């Protein structure tokens, strides 16, 4: 369960040894905000601007139309489409695993849809951001490897394991990164998963799997024994993504056979749909790891603060808590996160800081 008494110093190598039964599954600590009829009572009827929402349907049901009357029937994408057309909402996608749809709605459409008897709740599709602080510093080796004792642990048993990195992509051409046993998926408009115009994802991946090849740096799994699946969820600017996209991203990891997922990202608002999805992934046997956040206070970030996700704070080379690291009751582990040297998208290396660097 979420460890509220102490914070362990551990990296991805140690996380392989975590028992999946040790994570308690419960509701989000900071409850999500659902849209209510009262929220939209005073809308401006002339406002045509749209916002992206997640619409959760009641247990196994969506509404259909029969002879002008509304009835309830079993959930399906087709019936969800029918409901969206009824309110003239723009369908972004469907999240069938959690019986939800992502829609763009203006205030008038939102007001009408929130009262539909087949709708359980509507919530804003929350944004998720990268958790890095670019602070280039001179450092020749990744001090975090001996700190988490990854150099003392053989990764021979990782041969039947696949890890997943949800980030900005992966520089497949980098000489210090595996180029076999690597698969990937990129969201539409983000280019190829095997390229990384930002660098963040390549850095995170290097911390996990950079090769022990007498060159550059080494990762916590340096022998190319573990397979890797990359989900490119951010574009090259790395500005933000949506909670609903994160759900899709983890589904890609699951389909690829990954059991360990790293998410060096997050945001300050919880999502009930996202929390439910995380619980479902956990129950399926996946280990979900996320950065605790870079606000430097006790505020909560998500998905790290869901009880089905392992939250990782950052420490420096002296094992002191990083000034930027969030520190709250949901944090379970701490990892090296200050001036971490790892692979970069230019074929070289870079030292950057953040809880993003600590979680892998």
What residues act catalytically?
167, 200, 356
CA trace torsion 222, 227, 233, 234 (10° rounding): 30
Q: Most distant CA pair in the chain: distance in Å?
A: 73
8 A C-beta contact, residue 308 and residue 278: yes
CA 269, CA 287: separation in Å to the nearest integer? Answer: 22
What are the tokens at 8? 């362990």
Shortest CA distance to 212 belongs to which of 225, 199, 200?
Answer: 225
Say how far apart CA 165 and CA 57 lie, in whole Å: 30
C-beta neighbour count of 297 within 10 angstroms: 10
Residues 6+ apart with CB under 8 A from 110: 35, 40, 43, 51, 53, 122
For residue 231, is the peptide bond before it cis, meaning its omega torsion is within 30 degrees of 0?
no
- The vertex-56 CA angle with 53 and 60, nearest 5°, equals 155
Rounded distance, CA 314 to CA 292, Å? Answer: 8
């Amino acid at each position: 369960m979420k460890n509220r008494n102490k914070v362990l110093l551990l990296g991805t190598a140690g996380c392989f040894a975590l028992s999946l039964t040790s994570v308690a599954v419960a509701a989000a600590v900071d409850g999500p905000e659902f849209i209510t009829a009262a929220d939209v009572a005073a809308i401006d009827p002339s406002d045509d601007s749209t916002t992206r929402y997640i619409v959760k349907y009641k247990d196994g049901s969506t509404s259909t139309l029969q002879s002008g009357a509304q009835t309830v029937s079993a959930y399906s994408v087709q019936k969800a489409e029918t409901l969206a057309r009824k309110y003239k909402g723009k369908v972004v996608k469907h999240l069938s695993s959690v019986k939800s749809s992502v829609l763009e709605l203006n205030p008038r459409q939102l007001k009408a849809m929130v009262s539909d008897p087949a709708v359980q709740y509507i919530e804003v599709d929350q944004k998720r951001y990268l958790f890095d602080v670019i602070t280039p510093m001179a450092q020749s080796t990744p001090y975090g490897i001996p700190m988490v004792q990854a150099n003392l642990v053989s990764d021979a048993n990782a041969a039947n394991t696949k890890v997943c990195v949800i980030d900005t992509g992966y520089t497949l051409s980098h000489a210090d990164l595996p180029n076999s046993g690597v698969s990937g998926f990129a969201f539409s408009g983000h280019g190829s998963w095997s390229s990384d115009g930002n660098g963040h994802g390549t850095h995170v991946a290097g911390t996990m799997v950079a090769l022990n090849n007498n060159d550059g740096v080494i990762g916590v799994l340096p022998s190319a024994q573990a397979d890797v699946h990359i989900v490119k969820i951010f574009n090259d600017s790395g500005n933000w993504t949506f909670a609903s996209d994160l759900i899709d991203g983890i589904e890609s990891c699951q389909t690829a056979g990954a059991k360990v997922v790293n998410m060096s990202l997050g945001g300050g608002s919880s999502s009930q749909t996202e929390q439910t999805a995380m619980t479902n992934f956990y129950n399926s046997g996946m280990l979900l790891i996320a950065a605790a956040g870079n606000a430097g206070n006790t505020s909560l970030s998500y998905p790290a603060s869901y009880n089905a996700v392992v939250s990782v704070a950052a420490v420096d080379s002296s094992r002191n808590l990083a000034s930027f690291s969030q520190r709250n009751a949901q944090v379970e582990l701490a990892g090296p996160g200050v001036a971490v040297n790892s692979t970069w998208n230019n074929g070289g290396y870079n030292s950057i800081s953040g809880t993003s660097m600590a979680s892998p």
